Each structure stands twice: as C-alpha cells, then as structure tokens.
Amino acid sequence: MLDKLDKIGKSAVIKEMSSFISKEDASALLQIVTVEGTNVEKAEKLGKFGSQEIKDFLAICQDFSIPEKNLSFDPSLARGLDYYTGIIFEVYIPDVAIGAVCAGGRYADLCSLFCEKKFSGVGVAFGFDRIVLAMEELKLLAEVRLNSQVMMTNFDGGERKKMLELATRLQSAGINTEIYFETAKLGKQFKYADKKEIPFVVICGPEEIARQEVTIKVMKTGKQKTIPQSQLVEYLNGFTS
C-alpha cells in the first residue's frame, strides 16, 4: 500500500491500512516513510528504523560524486516483497511523465531456487517500450525512413501465389519490396504507393500471369513497361542498386 502514496495520498493510504492495523500505527508508519531532507538526513532521521546498508550505499554514491539531484532515497518505495531482501530501486527520466523506465533490487538467496549454489545478486529489468516513448518525447530518436522500393499490386483472384513468388525474388535480390495489404482497385493502390513515395509498382494481374509477364509502373512519370517475369529482378536492379 505504501507504493500508492503518490497516487492516492496519505489519508487514503491510512484508511486502507486501518483495515489490518490501528489508525495510530498507520499514521506512525507513514511518518517514518515520508521523512524529508537530503538523502543522508533522511537516513539519519530514521534512527533505529534506518538500515546501515542504506547509509553505506549513500556514502558510496557520494564517493562516486553522484549528484544529489540524481539520487533520491525514498523509504516508501515498495516492490517484490516476496523475494527482495535488500535495497530496491527505480529509475526515472526527468521531465517525462512516463513512470519508471527500469527497476530492480537485491536478493539474498533467490538463485538457490534454480541452482544448487547459494549466492546473492542484484537484478534489474528495463522497460524498453517506456524508454523508446521517452526518447520520442525528448526527440532523441533520429527520423529514419525505410521506404519500399517496389510495391506489388494485390488482385482478388488466383494471383497470390505468383505475387508472393515474385516479391520473394525481389527481396532475395536486396530490393525492398512490399505487397499492398488488401485487394482494391488499382487506382487506390497507386495512390497508396504515391503517398509512400514508392518509385515502382509491379502489376501482376490475370493477364500478365497468363503471358508470364509483369507490368512495371514508374510512379514519378506514370510510364508503364511490360517485361517477362524472368527479367523482373535484373530490370529493377538497374534502377534500385
């Protein structure tokens, strides 16, 4: 319940805790975990409730010249009570309201559940999705455009096998190729390719398949050229390589 402090406030936490301890004890506990001051002052103010491990850790951080603003001792932090046995931590990114981007803690003997040896360890997990969202918000990600070089048209018929075969040939030759995601009129498919700035559209309809040909449309000029399917990779390689 202590980890709800910043979400629901002291009064609501005391009310919830009062269901299994007295209101006075709940208030006293909150006084302990909401102590204010610098990190060292908080550890000192906790007195007998403070952990020597915390004090030693803060001293090491000072030795490493870690700025006080980058480290906050929060006695109310609670996570993994069934296996963490020492210091726990959460990492946040300043000025980004996205929550913790990684978290973890120390456990004395968790590894013995999976192996015969007994040894302590510290585990940490990273929230990749949150880190990426934070980087986007802070504009730390370079804008990368991975446009397809070729789009295969999609017909409503028995052309799928040949369409997939030709697309696979192009991809295997290093030509970035995509297939239009649904069956639709050619005009709609051309409009999609134009919007995505795909330079070439390969038309492989019933007539082309019957003649073992394909029609290539150059989107920039609107010109079309029909060639044998066997020459497709070689022809497009001349423009995309």
pLDDT above 80 (res 182): yes
Which amino acid makes up residue 172? S
Which CATH architecture describes the domain 150-240?
Answer: 3-Layer(aba) Sandwich (3.40)
Residues 121-156 have pLDDT tens digits of: 888 999 999 999 999 999 998 876 668 999 999 987
Q: What share of the chain is helix, strand, coil (3-state, %, to 5)?
A: 45, 15, 40
Residues 188-204 have pLDDT tens digits of: 999 999 999 999 999 99
What pLDDT score does 43 carry? 84
The pLDDT of 97-103, averaged and rounded, is 92
Q: Using 50, 70 and 90 to split pLDDT, how confident is the model at 171?
A: very high
Alpha helices in the chain (DSSP H): 5-17, 23-33, 39-45, 52-63, 128-137, 160-172, 186-195, 206-210, 232-240
What pLDDT score does 34 carry? 79
pLDDT above 70 (res 78): yes
The pLDDT of 229-240, averaged and rounded, is 90
What pLDDT score does 35 carry? 81
Q: How many CA atoms lie within 13 A of 95 on its CB side?
A: 5
Distance (Å, rounded) from C-alpha 219 to C-alpha 40?
67
Q: Using 50, 70 and 90 to split pLDDT, how confident is the model at 95?
A: confident
Answer with the residue of higher pLDDT: 34 or 181. Answer: 181
- Residues 146-171 as b or e (16 or more Cβ within 10 Å = b): eebbbbbbbbeeebeebbeebbebbe
Q: Give the full edge-to-edge strand order of the sheet including 88-91.
A: 88-91, 102-107, 121-126
Regarding beta strands 177-179 and 150-152, do their DSSP bridges make them parallel or antiparallel, or are they unpaired?
Answer: parallel
* Tokens matching residue 199: 């330079």
pLDDT above 90 (res 23): no
So where are the chain's domains?
79-143, 150-240
Q: Using 50, 70 and 90 to split pLDDT, how confident is the model at 221?
A: very high
Phi-psi region of 194 (alpha: psi -120 to 50; beta: other; left: phi over 0): alpha
Closest CA to 158 of 208, 213, 226, 202: 208
Q: What percentage of the chain reaches a pLDDT higher than 90?
A: 43
* Tokens matching residue 203: 């038309």
Most confident region among 26-30, 46-50, 112-116, 236-240 by mean pLDDT: 236-240
Torsion, Cα 216 219 222 228, to 10 degrees, reads -10
- pTM higher than 0.85: no
What pLDDT score does 79 carry? 77
pLDDT above 80 (res 205): yes
DSSP string, 175-186: --EEE-SS---H
